[in-house]
Amino acid sequence: MLIAQLSDCHVVVPEDEFNELYHPADKLIDAARHVNNSVNRPDIVFLTGDLVNTAKREEYEVLRDILPTFEMPVYLLPGNHDDCSLLREMFPEHDYLPKEGKLNYVVDGWPLKFICLDTNIHGKPQGRLGEEQLDWLDQELKAETARPVVIMLHHPPFKTGLTSMDEMGLLDMAEFAEVVARHDHIERVLCGHLHRAIQKLVGGTLVQTCPSTSHQVRLLLGENNALGTTFEPPEYLLHYWTEAGGLVTHSDYVKDYDVAWTLDGEM
């Protein structure tokens, strides 16, 4: 099984200044075209939050026109730039999204169980899960005895060293880590928000963040804590699952590069 994780598309309307700088909607269209035509075509796509930039209805309308261009099932998670009520209202065909309350859900029907969590605090850049969601996560983990589990949430549950981004981090990361540490069948925790690929062990499980399909956050660590963005290439993650090998994570660029050579291959 191949799972594509695309993140932080930050879609805006064409006349937005942000569009002049980053062209996020065009880049998401490119990303859809890329995964549809890839030699490593995914079975399923997750967009791990910050789907639009300023949570406006018109931005979700732009997104609504792009999503059907993906030729495989797409699942949406909210980020801090999203409005959960609008998201639910604007995407009724995404009927895995609960009709009320937080946008937590489970994706079944695959060799892995996917548990998706809503870290959005309305109007705030930080994220929080809270006791109720953490209890729900714990119950869902206990309920799954047959398959490995992948947990997805927008805000990563660790300090990344990109100090300016860490200030907009998950407020209850310690509590999340406690739940994770109780279960030994969590294959991976997958996040967005950082606009970079970063890994860390949390509660004994590898957590991986995803680059953006739009723009990346400048790599400034520790004391060097200004917030900046770069035009590093749009990128996404491909998680390759086999029963024998477990889950292996690769990154791929959205832009197609020429193949130098492939031994005995015609791909």
**What's the maximum distance between 2 C-alpha atoms anywhere in the chain?**
55
DSSP designation for 96: T
Please name the amino acid found at residue 26.
D
Residues 43-62 interacting with Fe ion (rule: CB under 5 A)? 50
Which of 50/187 has CB closer to Fe ion?
50
Least distance from Fe ion to the Cβ atom of residue 205, Å:
21
Which of 7/205 has CB closer to Fe ion?
7
Q: Does 8 bind Fe ion (CB under 5 A)?
A: yes
Instruction: Output the CA angle 6-234-255, nearest 5 degrees.
Output: 105
Which H or E run includes 86? helix 84-90
117 neighbors 141 (Cβ within 8 angstroms): no
Residue 252 exposed, middle or buried by CB count within 10 Å (0-12, 13-18, 19+) = middle
Q: Does 80 bind Fe ion (CB under 5 A)?
A: yes
Least distance from Fe ion to the Cβ atom of residue 258, Å:
30
Which of 24/79 has CB closer to Fe ion?
79
Residues 136-195 interacting with Fe ion (rule: CB under 5 A)? 193
Residue whose token pair is 């589990």:
149
Which of 217/247 has CB closer to Fe ion?
217
Which of 78/203 has CB closer to Fe ion?
78
Closest CA to 110 of 46, 180, 206, 153: 46
Query: Residue 97, by phi and psi: left (phi above 0), alpha (psi -120 to 50) or beta?
Result: beta
Q: Which stretch binds Fe ion (CB under 5 A): 13-21, 39-47, 71-79, 181-189?
A: 71-79
Q: Which stretch binds Fe ion (CB under 5 A): 8-16, 68-76, 224-232, 233-241?
A: 8-16
3-state class of 52 per DSSP?
strand
Size of the site for Fe ion (CB under 5 A): 5
Which of 113/215 has CB closer to Fe ion?
215
Distance separating alpha carbons of residues 137 and 159, to the nearest angstrom: 21
Site string for Fe ion, 191-230 (x = CB under 5 A): --x-------------------------------------
Q: Which positions lie near Fe ion, rule CB under 5 A?
A: 8, 50, 79-80, 193
